[in-house]
């Protein structure tokens, strides 16, 4: 479902991977539908704000849901545990599905599994495609590409490195460590990769996003618990959507 931000690199990888794995592929361009929606709600399509981005995510979800009805099928969610923790998904867009198969799998594990498959189970051109997917910057591709046709919207530039956030998530939620201890452990674990200032910056982002995005987790689809951590409101995780993050952030400023 190519949109305004879809690059040739990612579209080509999808097409080639489906071909190599003998998977049927339907190409539905969402740009005309999105432009019509902008017209309907009175949005200027040259203004690339949250409305511009979320319109695309929700249009894709509508297509998937309706196509699933047509085929008597299920929409399998593409989101993962890391995105649920940070709320990095469009409410009632890619946030929604009929079954969230990766809801218990963190982003770093998704990458590891692809690397493992490419190195141990894949063959031929599939290996090359999977390696390029791994090396592609993580992006929702909702903003137009740059002048060279490359991805302009880099997720980790906005919210921080997933390797840090997955570390924060495990230690803060699974281990129930205090903010000070999570920071202490992170400084030890990543001292060669990130400065203390950088780690502190993204840790604050983690707590702020984790607290503010509970409303999305309260309405998340069913999904399996893969590891020891689940953020499902029907299982391990109970949290009010109006929980206040200030007490946690304050402990990181002294």
In this prediction, residue 235 carries a pLDDT of 83
In this prediction, residue 236 carries a pLDDT of 85
Number of other residues whose CB lies within 10 A of the CB of residue 233: 15
Using 50 as the pLDDT threshold, list the residues of the chain that sit under it: none
In this prediction, residue 254 carries a pLDDT of 57
CA of 192: how far to CAs of 151, 172, 200, 252, in Å?
Answer: 28, 22, 15, 21
In this prediction, residue 164 carries a pLDDT of 98
Joined together, the tokens standing for residue 196 give 């203390």
Give every CB contact of residue 253 below 8 A, 6+ residues apart in sequence: none
Q: What pTM does this model have?
A: 0.94
DSSP string covering 212-238:
HTHHHHTTPPP----SS----TTTT--
In this prediction, residue 253 carries a pLDDT of 75
Q: Where are the domains of the chain?
A: 8-250
Joined together, the tokens standing for residue 1 give 């479902």
State the CATH architecture for 8-250: 3-Layer(aba) Sandwich (3.40)
The answer to whether 82 touches 165, Cβ cutoff 8 Å, is yes
Q: Mind listing the pLDDT tens digit for each residue in 138-166? A: 999 999 999 999 999 999 999 999 999 99
């Amino acid at each position: 479902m190519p949109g305004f931000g879809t690059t040739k690199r990612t579209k080509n990888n999808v097409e080639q991977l489906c071909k190599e794995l003998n998977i049927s592929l339907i190409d539905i361009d969402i740009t005309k539908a999105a432009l019509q929606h902008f017209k309907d709600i009175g949005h200027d399509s040259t203004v690339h704000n949250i409305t511009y981005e979320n319109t695309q995510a929700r249009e894709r979800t509508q297509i998937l849901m309706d196509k699933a009805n047509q085929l008597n099928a299920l929409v399998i969610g593409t989101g993962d545990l890391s995105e649920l923790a940070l709320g990095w998904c469009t409410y009632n867009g890619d946030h929604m599905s009929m079954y969230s198969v990766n809801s218990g799998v963190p982003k770093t594990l998704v990458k590891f599994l692809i690397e493992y498959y490419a190195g141990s189970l894949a063959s031929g051109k599939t290996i090359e495609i999977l390696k390029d997917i791994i090396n592609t910057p993580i992006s929702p591709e909702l903003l137009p590409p740059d002048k060279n046709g490359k991805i302009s919207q880099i997720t980790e530039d906005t919210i921080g490195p997933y390797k840090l956030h997955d570390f924060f998530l495990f230690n803060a939620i699974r281990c129930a460590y205090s903010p000070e201890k999570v920071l202490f452990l992170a400084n030890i674990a990543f001292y060669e990769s990130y400065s203390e200032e950088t780690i502190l910056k993204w840790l604050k982002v983690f707590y702020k996003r984790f607290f503010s995005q509970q409303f999305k987790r309260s309405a998340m689809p069913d999904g399996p618990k893969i590891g020891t951590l689940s953020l499902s409101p029907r299982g391990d995780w109970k949290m009010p959507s109006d929980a206040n993050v200030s007490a946690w952030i304050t402990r990181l400023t002294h």
